[in-house]
C-alpha cells in the first residue's frame, strides 16, 4: 500500500478519501524522503561549506532540475521555490504590479478563479487605482472566449486564469487564452494548482509566462510550491522579499540582487519539503502522467454516469472534458449537511464555496458538495459515494 493513511477507519467504515483537490495524501516514498532528510541530511543550504550543507544543497538543486523537466521549462533559472500556489501568485502580482501596473490599468481574470488568483491582483490594483476585468462563463462552466477577446485595450497589463477550476473541473483553453493575450502583448499567468497532478503539463507548449502550483496537491508535503516564470520576464521584475540568499552585495547605501532564481528565494527555504516534492514527482512519473490522466478520465465518466441517477442531484460544472472534481447539490439540502452525513459513512468530501465565492454568486447557491480524485481513487470509491448518497437522500427531504 503506497498510501498508509488510506487504511484509516472512520466511524467504523473504511475511509473513502475524495478531498484530493484540497490536498492529496502522501505516498510512503514521500514520507520516507522527508524523514530521511531529517534523519541524515538536515542542514541549511547554499551558505555552508561542510559535508551536510553541500549534500543538502545538491539535493535541493537537483529537485529544481526535476521540476524544470517535469513542466518542460527552458531552464532552472525559471523555477522558483515558494510555499505554494498562493505565495507564487502573490509574488508575481506584487512584483509585476510594482513594476508595470499603473493608475487606470487593467488585469483580466476569469469568473471561475480561486480567491488566491483574485485577491493578490486586487491588492496590486488597489494600490495604484487599477481594476480587474472578468471573463464570464456559461452555465456548463465554459469560459466565454468571445467576451474575453473584447476585454483587451491599451491598459490591459496581465491575464490571470486557472488551468483547471477547483470547483467546476473545467479545463480552460490555455493555448488559445495565451495566443489572444500575446497578440495584445499582454503576459499570462496560469494557476496550475489543480492541473499538475492530473495531466502532463508543458509550459513552453502552453506558451504562458508564469505557471504556479502547490506541492501538497501533487502528493508532496505541505509547505512547498513553485512559481515558474519566463526568464526574460523574471529579469524585469524587482525582488519580492528582502533577506538572506536573494542578495549579491549589501551595504547600508545599496544592495545588489542575486541572479535568478535566487533573487526570489529570500531566507531559508523548506528544504525537506522540496526533497519531498522531488520524491512526489518521481512517484507520479513512475506511474506516468498520461496513465494517471487516462485513469482519472475513466473515473470521471463512470462517476458522472453513476451519480446522475441519484434522485435530485444537480451538478455544478458540466464542461466537456472536465477533470478531477465533481461539484453537486442534493435537492434543497445544504451542502454542509450532505458532507456531514457522508462523513459519518467514512466518505471525505469538501463542502462550501471552495474559495471561489464568485462562482457561487454566479449560480446563486451557497456552496456545493465536492468530490475530487487522485491517482489512487478507485471505481469502488465512486460506488461507495453513490451508495452513500442513495442512503442519505431520503434523510434530507
**Nearer residue to ligand PMP within complex by CB, 24 or 95:** 24
**Span near ligand PMP by CB under 6 A; candidates 79-87, 142-150, 251-259, 385-393:** 79-87
Residue 390 host element (H or E): helix 379-392
**Span near ligand PMP by CB under 6 A; candidates 109-117, 235-243, 247-255, 286-294:** 109-117
Q: Are 231 and 38 in contact (CB under 8 A)?
A: no
**Nearer residue to ligand PMP within complex by CB, 105 or 273:** 273
Assess 85 for contact with ligand PMP (CB under 6 A). Answer: yes
Residue 31 C-alpha cell reads as 514520507
Whether 208 sits among the annotated catalytic residues: the reply is: no
Measured CA to CA, the distance from residue 178 to residue 191 in angstroms comes to 13
DSSP string, 54-91: HHHHHHHHHHHHHHHHHHT-S-GGGEEEESSHHHHHHH
Which residues, numbered 214-233, are part of the site for ligand PMP (CB under 6 A)? 214, 216
Assess 370 for contact with ligand PMP (CB under 6 A). Answer: no
Q: Minimum Å distance from CB 372 to ligand PMP?
A: 9
**Nearer residue to ligand PMP within complex by CB, 352 or 366:** 352
**Nearer residue to ligand PMP within complex by CB, 95 or 214:** 214
Judged by CB under 6 A, the residue of 24, 66, 86, 327 near ligand PMP is 86
Assess 327 for contact with ligand PMP (CB under 6 A). Answer: no
Q: Minimum Å distance from CB 52 to ligand PMP?
A: 29
Residue 379 host element (H or E): helix 379-392
Judged by CB under 6 A, the residue of 64, 77, 114, 370 near ligand PMP is 114
52-59: Cβ within 8 A, 24+ apart: 56/271, 59/275, 59/278
Q: Minimum Å distance from CB 321 to ligand PMP?
A: 17
Q: Minimum Å distance from CB 159 to ligand PMP?
A: 16
For 389, phi then psi, to 5°, come to -65, -40
Q: Are 238 and 108 in contact (CB under 8 A)?
A: no
Q: Minimum Å distance from CB 212 to ligand PMP?
A: 8
Cβ partners under 8 Å of residue 258, min gap 6: 245, 246, 247, 248
Residue 206 C-alpha cell reads as 502552453
Which residues, numbered 156-215, are part of the site for ligand PMP (CB under 6 A)? 162, 166, 191, 193-194, 214
For 76, phi then psi, to 5°, come to -70, -15
Which residues, numbered 15-74, are part of the site for ligand PMP (CB under 6 A)? 21
Cβ partners under 8 Å of residue 172, min gap 6: 110, 143, 161, 162, 163, 164, 165
Assess 84 for contact with ligand PMP (CB under 6 A). Answer: yes
Judged by CB under 6 A, the residue of 20, 66, 116, 368 near ligand PMP is 116
Number of residues that bind ligand PMP (CB under 6 A): 15
Return the number of other C-beta atoms located less than 10 Å from residue 48's C-beta. Answer: 14
Measured CA to CA, the distance from residue 100 to residue 92 in angstroms comes to 11
Assess 143 for contact with ligand PMP (CB under 6 A). Answer: no
**Nearer residue to ligand PMP within complex by CB, 21 or 79:** 21
Measured CA to CA, the distance from residue 356 to residue 379 in angstroms comes to 28
For 195, phi then psi, to 5°, come to -110, -45
**Nearer residue to ligand PMP within complex by CB, 162 or 258:** 162
Q: Minimum Å distance from CB 173 to ligand PMP?
A: 16
Residue 286 C-alpha cell reads as 513512475
Q: Are 14 and 345 in contact (CB under 8 A)?
A: no
**Interface with ligand PMP by CB under 6 A: which residues?**
21, 84-86, 114, 116-117, 162, 166, 191, 193-194, 214, 216, 355
Q: Which residues are catalytic?
A: 355
Amino acid at each position: 500500500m503506497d498510501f498508509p493513511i488510506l487504511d484509516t477507519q472512520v466511524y467504523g467504515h473504511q475511509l473513502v478519501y475524495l478531498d484530493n483537490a484540497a490536498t492529496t495524501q502522501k505516498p510512503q516514498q514521500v514520507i520516507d524522503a522527508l524523514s530521511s532528510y531529517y534523519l541524515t541530511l538536515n542542514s541549511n543550504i547554499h551558505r555552508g561549506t561542510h559535508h551536510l550543507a553541500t549534500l543538502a544543497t545538491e539535493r535541493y538543486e537537483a529537485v529544481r532540475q526535476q521540476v524544470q523537466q517535469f513542466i518542460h521549462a527552458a531552464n532552472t533559472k525559471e523555477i522558483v521555490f515558494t510555499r505554494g500556489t498562493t505565495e507564487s501568485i502573490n509574488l508575481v502580482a506584487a512584483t509585476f504590479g510594482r513594476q508595470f501596473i499603473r493608475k487606470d490599468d487593467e488585469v483580466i481574470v476569469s469568473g471561475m478563479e480561486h480567491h488566491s488568483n483574485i485577491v493578490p491582483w486586487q491588492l496590486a490594483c488597489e494600490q495604484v487605482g487599477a481594476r480587474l476585468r472578468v471573463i464570464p462563463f456559461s452555465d456548463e462552466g465554459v469560459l466565454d472566449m468571445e467576451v474575453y477577446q473584447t476585454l483587451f485595450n491599451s491598459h490591459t497589463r496581465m491575464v490571470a486564469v486557472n488551468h483547471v477550476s477547483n470547483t467546476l473541473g473545467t479545463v480552460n483553453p490555455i493555448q488559445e487564452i495565451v495566443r489572444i493575450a500575446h497578440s495584445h502583448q499582454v503576459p499570462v499567468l496560469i494557476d496550475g494548482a489543480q492541473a499538475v497532478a492530473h495531466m502532463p503539463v508543458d509550459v513552453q507548449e502552453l506558451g504562458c509566462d508564469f505557471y504556479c502550483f502547490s506541492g501538497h496537491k501533487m502528493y508532496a508535503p505541505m509547505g512547498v510550491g513553485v512559481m515558474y516564470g519566463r526568464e526574460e520576464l523574471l529579469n524585469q521584475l524587482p525582488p519580492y522579499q528582502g533577506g538572506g540568499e536573494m542578495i549579491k552585495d549589501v551595504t547600508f547605501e545599496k544592495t545588489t540582487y542575486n541572479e535568478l532564481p535566487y533573487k526570489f528565494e529570500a531566507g531559508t527555504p523548506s528544504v525537506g519539503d522540496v526533497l519531498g516534492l522531488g520524491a512526489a514527482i518521481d512517484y507520479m512519473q513512475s506511474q506516468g502522467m498520461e496513465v494517471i490522466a487516462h485513469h482519472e478520465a475513466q473515473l470521471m465518466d463512470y462517476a458522472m454516469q453513476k451519480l446522475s441517477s441519484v434522485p435530485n442531484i444537480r451538478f455544478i460544472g458540466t464542461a466537456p472534458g472536465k477533470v478531477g472534481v465533481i461539484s453537486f447539490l442534493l435537492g434543497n439540502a445544504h451542502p454542509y449537511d450532505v458532507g456531514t452525513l457522508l462523513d459519518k459513512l467514512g466518505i471525505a468530501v469538501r463542502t462550501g464555496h471552495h474559495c471561489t465565492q464568485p462562482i457561487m454568486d454566479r449560480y446563486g447557491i451557497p456552496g456545493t458538495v465536492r468530490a475530487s480524485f487522485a491517482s489512487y481513487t478507485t471505481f469502488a470509491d465512486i460506488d461507495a459515494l453513490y451508495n452513500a448518497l442513495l442512503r442519505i437522500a431520503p434523510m434530507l427531504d
